[in-house]
A and B are shown apart, each in its own frame.
Chain A
Amino acid sequence: EVHLLESGGGLVQPGGSLRLSCAASGFTFSSYAMSWVRQPPGKGLEWVSTISDSDGSTYYADSVKGRFTISRDNSKNTLYLQMNSLRAADTAVYYCAKDSMRNRLDLYFDYWGQGTLVTVSS
């Protein structure tokens, strides 16, 4: 059974940093692209970033480009999101999500974690 478990969320001051992790199990992690999607409280979904399975190519939403860095450790079956220069507008539940197709970059998501809340406030 596929399982994705995010951690690392919390309260951080504007301008601060936070690192999210997503521990994956139940599938061959190294064969799938992985993504982060966020949802501000009471609002809709926003794609944040994706990392490919093979060559580690990365993609970012304009709203986070230059501030967030996605990475993965295939030996630990773990996905990361390093978030720097955080703003109030980054406040959201952050979900990690698995790409649907093996060894491809399709960018639609068949499994999601339960999410971790990041609150940026002074």
Chain B
Amino acid sequence: DIQMTQSPSTLSASVGDRVTLTCRASQRISSWLAWYQQKPGKAPKLLIYKASSLQSGVPSRFSGSGSGTEFTLTISSLQPDDFATYYCQHYNSYSPAFGPGTKVDIK
């Protein structure tokens, strides 16, 4: 099975910062990668699919890039609503898997 890792596990940042989160796959997954945002007590929300496609309704300050085994999620200017945990997920096979998450908190 394909394993996903994310770094850092926690990122402390300020409103207005540009932040970059990294996700790595243990095998090549082409661009079959999604990113989700989750806030405490809430369901995850799809942000990005196919590594770089922005889900409808998601602010354009979110962007994704990468292919193969290394991927990034960038928030161009962090807003108060963006403090949350972010998960990547591969869907390269019939056994999709999530990364362990990156928590973005207030510096």
Which interface class (under 10, 10 to 19, 20 to 34, 35 or more) fits A?
Answer: 20 to 34
Given contacts A44-B98, A44-B100, contact A112 B43 (CB under 8 A): yes
Q: Is B55 in contact with A45, judged by CB distance below 8 angstroms?
A: no
In the complex, which residues of chain B have a beta carbon less than 8 angstroms from the beta carbon of A105?
A: 94
In the complex, which residues of chain B have a beta carbon less than 8 angstroms from the beta carbon of A112?
A: 43-45
In the complex, which residues of chain B have a beta carbon less than 8 angstroms from the beta carbon of A61?
A: 95
Distance from B91 Cβ to chain A, minimum over Cβ atoms (Å): 4
Interface string of B28-44 (1 = CB under 8 A from A): 00000010101000111
Tell me whether A114 is interfacial, beta carbon within 8 Å. Answer: yes
Tell me whether B64 is interfacial, beta carbon within 8 Å. Answer: no
Instruction: Provide the bound-state CA to CA distance between A3 and B34, in Å.
Output: 21
Tell me whether B62 is interfacial, beta carbon within 8 Å. Answer: no
Nearest chain B residue, comparing its CB with the CB of A105: B94
Specify which of A44, A100, A113, A115 is in contact with B87 (CB 8 Å cutoff): A44
Q: Is A114 in contact with B43, judged by CB distance below 8 angstroms?
A: yes
Q: Is B95 in contact with A110, judged by CB distance below 8 angstroms?
A: no
In the complex, which residues of chain B have a beta carbon less than 8 angstroms from the beta carbon of A108?
A: 34, 46, 49, 89, 91, 96
- Sorted nearest first, the 5 A-B pairs with minimum C-beta distance are A112-B43, A107-B91, A108-B34, A45-B98, A107-B96
Q: Which residues in A have some Cβ–Cβ distance to B below 8 Å?
A: 44-47, 50, 59, 61-62, 95, 100, 105-110, 112-115
Q: A45-B36, A106-B91, A108-B46 are in contact. List 9 more A-B contacts (CB 8 A).
A: A45-B38, A45-B98, A45-B101, A50-B94, A100-B46, A105-B94, A107-B91, A108-B34, A108-B96
17 A-B pairs within 8 Å (CB atoms) are namely: A44-B87, A44-B101, A45-B98, A45-B101, A47-B96, A47-B98, A62-B95, A95-B43, A100-B46, A105-B94, A107-B96, A108-B49, A109-B46, A110-B46, A110-B55, A112-B43, A114-B42
